[in-house]
Every structure is written in C-alpha cells, then in structure tokens.
Chain A
Amino acid sequence: MGDMKATRAAYGEALCELAQDHPELVVLEADLSSATMTKNFSLRYPERFFNCGIAEANMTGIAAGMATCGLRPFTNTFAIFAAGRAYEQVRNSIAYPGLNVVVVGSHGGVSVGEDGATHQMIEDLSLMRTIPDMTVINPCDANEMRQAVEALLSYDGRAYLRLGRAPVENVTSGKADYKFEIGKGVTMRGGKDVTIAATGLCVQLSLAASDILSAEGIDVRVLDIHTIKPLDEDLILKAAEETGVIVTAEEHNVIGGLGGAVAELTSSRHPVPVIRHGIEDTFGRSGKAKEVLEYYGLTAAAIAEKVRQAVKLK
C-alpha cells in the first residue's frame, strides 16, 4: 500500500511550492484556511492572500475582478459553498465573461464524514459541468493533485477543482508512464472484459475492486478520469468498443456527474450498457468518513458487485 495523504493537503503544499514561479497567483479564502489548507500560503505570501470572510458569493466575484486585471485567482471554500451557494457567481461573473479563475471546492463528497448532509456536496461535478466553457477536475491522489494545480496555473480557461478531506492512498506516483494532462484520462490498469471509469477516491476503490475480480477471472480495465469536463472522449469510446460495458464510480450523485457524462457520450457515439455507481440520489449523513463511504456503497466490494452485474449485460 502506498503512502496516504488527503488531496487537500497536497493542494495546500502545491500552492506554496508554485507561488514563487507564479507571481500572478492569488489565493482567496472564506474563513476555512485551516480546512482548505491555504493557511501555509497565507503565512508565506500574506500580500497575495485575501480572506474574504464567510461571504462566498462576494469572494467569487472579487476573484473575477482580479482575473480581469491579469491575476490568477484560486478561490477556496467547501465544495457545497463553492459550487452550490456561489453557483450563479461562478456562472455569470467567471464563466460567461471567460475569466481565468480556479474555483476550488474542498471537502467534496460524503467522505467529509461527521458534519453530515449540509456539508457533503454530491452535486458539484454536475452543477459545474453544465456551465458552458467550464473545466471540471477531480484528482484522485496527492500526486495527481499537485500536477493538476501546476497545470491549472498556466491553463487558459476557467475550472472547478474538487479536493477531498480524507487521506487517500497515492496510486499515480508509482506508475511509470503516468502523465497528467487536463482533459486526458489515465489507464490505470488494462483489461478486456469490462471498464471501470472512476474519479476521485473511487479510483483507488476501483483498483481494489479489480483485484477482487481478477481472482474471479474477470479482466477489468480501470480508468482514472480526473477531468470530468472536457471528458476524454477517445479513451471512453475506446473502452466502450473494446470492453463492451462501462461501470462509472464516483463519490457523487449518480445524476449528472461522471456517470452522466459517460452515459451522454456513449449513448450517441457508441451505445453500450453504462452502470452508474455513486450516491443514489439521496442526501448524505453523519458518521466517520469510512463508515459513511461504506453506508453508501463506496467500497471496493460494492463496486466489484456492480461490475459482476454489468458483465452479465454484455
């Protein structure tokens, strides 16, 4: 098992590491710097850090104004507020004017744990994905997060970046041919019987599921889809063609996220069964992160079971 680190921790480190080479980087916060991990940046670069208080809509608009002047703002708060409360500010003040802002949603999904449903954002990928011209990125581990932040600093576009609260195993840094590119998925494991297209912490769970299934003689392809939009269409269509069935796995509502994106693509371009695994259109609940994930079936065993059912549909 590789080392464990939360993507939010890797994100905070990346901001500090990359700040020197990117004087245009400014970091905006909404009173959660210890949780979103922008605290160290605020201490090292106080003149480029702006705590906007508990006022996410205004923070989002401030970032837009800064971007018109050539700065590269990263706004920080929990995913529920970044993509939920400030949805319309992201749409009308950032995306519509075409401003290069990175909207960072920390504590995405149900692995927030104890805080419960009000703080467990399971619609962010969906909401952000429907905004025209918006890029949506959900890295699975610390290494991928570090590279995503670096890529976003020189990206000509606007993006939503989801961070996770819980520590996750590092699975991409040990992969020799791993290369992060916005809009390009990563084949984590080859396979011919079925494909799991996973995002965020479901990548690790899907790799574990494929271990279980390989013992049963099911050869599973595992894709890490860190960029939900623009979706890596070639990689998904190739998987549809070669494996004939796709299971999507995400810590998100089964409506509108990665599963929705894959179903939309394949239904018109290469129809195959697409089984969407995720939160079944219900609110989250309090508990330890691991318990909550188990409660909603975000486990290797539950994903493996979905894959068994999916294979029968071929």
Chain B
Amino acid sequence: MTEHELCVLSTRARIWLFDAIYRAQSGHPGGSLSCVDALTELYFNEMNISPDRPDDPDRDRFVLSKGHSAPALYSVLALRGYFPEKDLDLFRSIKGHMSGHPDMRHVKGVDMSTGSLGQGISAAVGMALAARVQKKSYRTYVVLGDGEMEEGQVWEAIMAASKFKLSNLCAMVDVNGLQIDGKTDDVMPTSPLDQKFAAFKWNVIHAEGHDFESMENALKEARECTDKPSVILLRTVKGKGISYMEKSAAWHGKAPNESQYDLAMGELKAHLAGLEAS
C-alpha cells in the first residue's frame, strides 16, 4: 500500500473517530489521534490478518494496551472491514455493544479486552508465548502509551518478554509526552525509554509516528530481529490533525462541543479533500 493511500485511510479514520466521540459526547480524542496512524499502518500495511476470518488461529495478534484509544482502534477496524461504519454510532452508547474501551467479546476484530492500563502488554506476551507452544509463526503487536509506562506491570511484562526472547513480539509506544494531568515529564517521567528498554535487553527502534514510511521501515527492522523482542518508540503529537487539540493534555478525555466539532471537522475534511485531489 502506498504512503498516500495510508494517509487517506488514516485521515478517514480520524474523521470517524472524531465523529464517534462527538456523538457520544464522551471519549479520548487526544491519544486516539496520536496513535491512529500507527494502527492504520499495522492493519493495512503490516499485519497478516483477514476481516473475514477474525478468529483465524494463524493470524497476527494486536493488543491496544492503551485501551482508552478505542475510538482509533474501532475506526481502523471498521475501515478494514471488520464491521460496518454505522456501528461506530453506538460508541459508548447504552443502545449498543461498542463499549468505551476495547471489548473482545462483543467487537469483531478485537483480540484482547483492555482499558486498565498496564495489562494489555502482559496479554500480548502471553499471545507471543502461545505461538511458541503451538509452533505457530504469527506475530503479536501491542501499542502502549508513554504515560502507561508508569504502571509497574508494564516493566514486569518487559522483563518477561526479554527472558523468553520473544522476537515474535513487537511493542510500539505512542510517545506523545502528555497524560491526563499534564506533561509526562512532570507527572512521572518515563524517559529515557530507549535506554530503559535497552537495559531490559529489547531491540530498540525509533520512528516517526505520523510518517508511514518511517513506521514501515521500523516494523521491517523489528521483523528482522530474531533473538529478542522489539520496541518501536513512536514520536507522536497528542491530538494530531486537529489544530486546537495538538499538544494539549486538556483534550485527553474530553468531547468537543458543536462549534469545536465544526472547526475540527472542517480541518479534517479539507485535509482529506487535499489528499484525494493530489
């Protein structure tokens, strides 16, 4: 898939996820917008998956450990064809099954229920170990937030992945530098993540989280590493794609009002039109 096609897809995903949050008047736009490009890259250009066979035992696995970015995951799954776009109307609604955080029991394509930070990466380690027990060649991908790295369980999982030499596991950290209460550096610094992962004997790769070519190269580098797990540290912008949300912790978990919605939608649609015209 070309970089241009991926840009079009991720812009559409931004529109869908933003619509879903606006309709629900609830959800997490900031972190969804910072990781939606990575999810687009994974689901359209990296993972061995098929929406027709969501339970295929040989498929690659994906865990959204930063589960509050469910709008990004749900939008990308809908775009990829796991379920109709109209299901997104039910996001966070009592009338439907599209719960606020990823729910594997009810949303097709979700490989693991998440939402409580720090837990998804352990499940991903379990999936990667299961591949070894069952002699399967699938890969497991997990996306974490940089604020999430404050959870102790994350480091337990990182230690275990290293011990078990899980080269079939690839973690991606959405390093947008912000969390609910402000800058990650102020609330509880998690940097230097590269040195920390390296000390835990992971293969450490840097990439631009809004640049598909950069992510494609990083994922290839991860695949080529055969003796240890890989982590891709993604440089990202919280709220990416909506001018007034970018680099703002205030938009971590807040829905826009009508005029904010109109402004953002205007920006996103203009961006999409520009891409489609080029």
Residues of A within 8 A of B (CB): 26, 47-48, 50, 52-53, 55, 57-71, 73, 88-89, 92-93, 96-98
Contacts and interface: CB of A to CB of B under 8 A. Distances in A.
B161 to A, nearest CB: 10
Given A58-B125, A65-B122, 19 more contacts: A52-B156, A57-B152, A61-B119, A61-B122, A61-B153, A61-B157, A62-B125, A65-B123, A66-B126, A68-B111, A68-B123, A69-B61, A71-B130, A71-B134, A73-B126, A92-B116, A92-B119, A93-B122, A97-B104
A65 B123 CA distance: 4
Contacts of A65: 63, 112, 122-130
Closest 9 A-B residue pairs measured CB to CB? A65-B126, A61-B122, A58-B156, A65-B123, A69-B130, A55-B156, A62-B126, A97-B113, A66-B126
Interface string B95-135: 00000000111000001110110111111111111110110
A158 to B, nearest CB: 13
Main secondary structure of the interface of A (DSSP, over half): helix
22 contacts: A57-B119, A57-B152, A57-B156, A58-B125, A58-B156, A59-B122, A61-B119, A61-B122, A62-B123, A62-B157, A63-B126, A65-B63, A65-B122, A65-B126, A65-B129, A69-B127, A73-B126, A89-B153, A93-B113, A93-B116, A93-B119, A97-B105
Contacts of B123: 61-62, 64-65, 68, 93
Contacts of A61: 119-123, 125-126, 153, 157
Nearest to A65: B126
Q: Chain B, interface size: which category?
A: 35 or more
A53 B160 contact: yes
A64 B120 CA distance: 10
Given A52-B160, A64-B123, A69-B131, A57 B116 contact: no
Contact of A70 (B57, B159, B160): B57
Nearest to A91: B116
